[in-house]
């Protein structure tokens, strides 16, 4: 597929509204869990979604997720299982075949929409598993951290729980349109990225920026300010180059480092959907 068409497709999928069926997202996933009980490779994907939701609802960071995409042979799995269990022409087998094959595309859509659910329900854009926070805390290693665009503070809270010093900041402009933004997990100082850098640049050794808004130049403005200051800081960026996050100017001009540190930071920060976000060290 042409890269530009793929990028448009990913954005369209990411921003597509959840199904308007009467049941809620988690109720639908719970129903799928029981419906596909006999199909382990499908059920495990649903189990991961339900577990992540339970952990987030309890105020904990979630587990690492696999790629939430149905196996290519899902329909074949259904056919083989029903063929083993029911003779040809059996009414029950035919009914189950129709029900399961009808549910597969709906389940596929809902699995791919998990990030939308997290955004709308928890205010979590970058899926932030606990093992990644452990890796990030190890990288920080006691240095003070400035997080800009912290959102609801999943990364900052995780690092604070690991006894790291974090200045968590966010302009909070997005909270006027999203109810979830009014329920941060930790204390967030209302500062724009540039104002936060101006205030804390002499106190920090690490800057973290996660999922800078798509198409806005905020990330590029911050990168220029960091460069112009001459401060020796590690700039950790979570996002998708020329995709769902950040500005074209940022990705065009960012020097993306590839070394052992970036490999370690990406061990548990893995792709969960069509968005290919990654952890970068930027100079």
Q: Taking residues 132-139, what's their average pLDDT?
A: 98
Looking at every residue in the chain, the average pLDDT score rounds to 91
Quote the CA–CA distance of 36 and 9 in Å, as a whole number: 28
Instruction: Encode pLDDT of 213-255 as tens digits.
Output: 999 999 999 999 999 999 999 999 999 999 999 999 999 999 9
> Would you list the domain boundaries of the chain?
19-112, 130-282
For residue 170, pLDDT over 80 is answered with: yes
Q: Taking residues 35-59, what's their average pLDDT?
A: 97
Closest CA to 142 of 168, 162, 167, 169: 162
Alpha-carbon torsion angle 179, 221, 188, 235, nearest 10: 120
Give CATH for domain 130-282.
3.40.50.150
Residues 6+ apart with CB under 8 A from 51: 62, 63
pTM (predicted TM-score): 0.88
- How far lies 66's CA from each of 102, 125, 146, 154, 271, in Å? 24, 17, 29, 20, 7
């Amino acid at each position: 597929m042409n890269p530009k068409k793929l990028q448009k497709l990913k954005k369209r999928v990411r921003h597509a509204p959840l199904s308007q069926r009467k049941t809620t997202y988690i109720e639908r996933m719970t129903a799928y869990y029981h419906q596909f009980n006999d199909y382990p490779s499908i059920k495990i994907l649903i189990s991961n979604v339900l577990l992540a939701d339970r952990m987030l609802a309890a105020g904990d960071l979630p587990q690492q997720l696999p790629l939430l995409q149905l196996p290519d042979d899902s329909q074949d799995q259904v056919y083989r299982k029903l063929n083993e269990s029911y003779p040809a022409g059996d009414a029950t087998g035919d009914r189950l075949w129709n029900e399961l094959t009808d549910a597969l595309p709906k389940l596929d859509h809902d699995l791919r929409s998990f990030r939308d659910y997290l955004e709308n329900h928890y205010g979590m854009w970058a899926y932030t598993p606990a093992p990644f926070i452990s890796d990030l805390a190890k990288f920080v290693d006691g240095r003070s951290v400035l997080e800009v665009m912290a959102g609801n503070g999943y990364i900052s809270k995780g690092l604070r729980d690991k006894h790291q010093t974090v200045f968590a900041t966010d302009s909070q402009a997005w909270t006027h349109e999203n109810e979830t933004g009014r329920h941060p997990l930790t204390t967030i100082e209302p500062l724009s990225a540039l104002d936060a850098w101006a205030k804390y640049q002499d106190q920090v050794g690490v800057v973290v920026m996660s999922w800078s808004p798509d198409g806005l130049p905020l990330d590029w403005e911050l990168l220029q300010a960091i460069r112009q200051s001459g401060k020796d800081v590690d700039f950790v960026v979570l996002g998708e180059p020329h995709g769902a996050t950040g500005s074209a100017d940022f990705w065009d001009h960012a020097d993306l480092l590839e070394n052992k540190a970036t490999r370690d930071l990406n061990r548990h920060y893995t792709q969960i959907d069509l968005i290919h976000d990654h952890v970068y060290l930027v100079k």
